[in-house]
Amino acid sequence: MKFVDSAKIFIKSGKGGAGCVSMRREKFIEFGGPNGGDGGRGGSVFLEGDHRLTTLQDFRTHPHQKAGNGMPGMGDNKTGKSGQDKILKVPLGTIIINDETDEVVAEILEESKVQLLKGGKGGLGNAHFKSATNQAPRYAQPGEHGHEMTIRLELKIMADVGLVGFPNAGKSTFISAVSNARPKIADYPFTTLVPNLGVVSISDFKTFVVADIPGIIENAHLGQGLGDQFLRHIQRTSVLAFLIDSSDPVSKPPVDVFKTLLQELKQFSADLPDKKRIVFLTKTDAIRPDLNIEAIIKEFKNMGEELLPISSVARKGLDKACYRLLGLIDEQKLVSFQADKEESQE
């Protein structure tokens, strides 16, 4: 299925059913009085998170989503049937934005329902309008109209680690080597056209989720290449792992590549460089002759950055890389916990 991370849809709740005008008619009861029932309520529109979903594709092909209308009331004080609710299931991490005001309406992070639009109330039947001066009212309320809204859905993948790197840096090979993900792998740029998620299992029943983001190019924050449509997915990650190819003979020095990637993230969001991060020097089984791994590690250390050499094909350094990522995730969680605690005390 094609990956779609945004969609615009029109939603509408159901109209309430009209109240009924009815008079009681039974043998030997000449003046039975009003017995018109109420109309049923219109269906509401809900969004519900579903961890099994990974795309918003269905909303691209079905951009109009409407709840059912309530049925009119009936005689004998029978209330009309309520309209069917419309429950829209979306992937976890979906943001709902009012297209007219650009206001964030909701953010779906859990498998729970969020009501977007409430259905219209059903109209009251004529039985409600009986009075001492009007024993046989011929009036019933119409049902309330439903509400409508155009919304934008934007999906931001929820993962613990986001892989960042230029095309062909070895991200797909890395995630396939350490997790259960099986992304497309080939020796040409932009092999990965959609984000892939992989679950990495560590001993003692510890796991974390890695997101393989399509390759970034210079000026990606301006929409070039695959553009900033995929940069948004690393905003929710706890840790960033920068992957730098050591085998490309025409590539810039690893430090320059790292600085370029970091600058792209800064241009997209000022918060991204503040995340915990680590640098992986990939494809060290085929490292180009002019590079010295020890010198590169020292150069990054002088910048305050941690670098680990790995080879996903030869499976060298992968265990150390995974344990280090898990450690960074725990560190980030501790930082977030302390920040939330200080905020609550204020």
Instruction: Tell me the per-residue pLDDT of 270-281, one tens digit each, with 9 for 90 and over.
Output: 777 888 999 999
Residue 53 vs residues 104, 106, 205, 233: alpha-carbon distances, Å: 21, 18, 25, 16
Tokens of 311: 């080879």
Q: Residue 272: CB partners within 8 Å, gap ≥ 6?
A: 234, 235, 240, 265, 266
The whole-number average pLDDT for the span 7-26 is 93
Angle, helices 171-178 vs 318-345, to 10°: value is: 90
| Residues 151 and 64 sit within 8 Å (Cβ to Cβ) | no
Higher pLDDT, 136 or 27: 136
Instruction: Single out the residue of 307, 311, 312 nearest to residue 287, CA to CA.
Output: 311
At residue 280, the pLDDT reads 96
At residue 185, the pLDDT reads 42
The whole-number average pLDDT for the span 219-233 is 49
Tell me the residue ranges of DSSP E strands in the chain.
6-12, 45-50, 64-66, 86-91, 94-98, 104-108, 113-117, 148-155, 161-164, 196-202, 206-212, 239-245, 276-282, 307-309
Tokens of 16: 């309430």
Measured CA to CA, the distance from residue 184 to residue 179 in angstroms comes to 14
Tokens of 206: 């510890």
The whole-number average pLDDT for the span 210-232 is 56
Q: What is the pLDDT of residues 147-175, one digit of tens each?
A: 999 999 988 767 789 888 888 888 888 98
pTM over 0.75: no
Tokens of 10: 């029109």
Q: Which domains does the chain carry?
A: 6-155 (2.70.210.12), 161-345 (3.40.50.300)
- Return the percentage of the chain with pLDDT > 70, whole number: 84
Measured CA to CA, the distance from residue 261 to residue 231 in angstroms comes to 11
Q: What is the pLDDT of residues 336-345, one digit of tens each?
A: 667 666 666 6
The band of 66, judged by pLDDT with boundaries at 50, 70 and 90, is very high
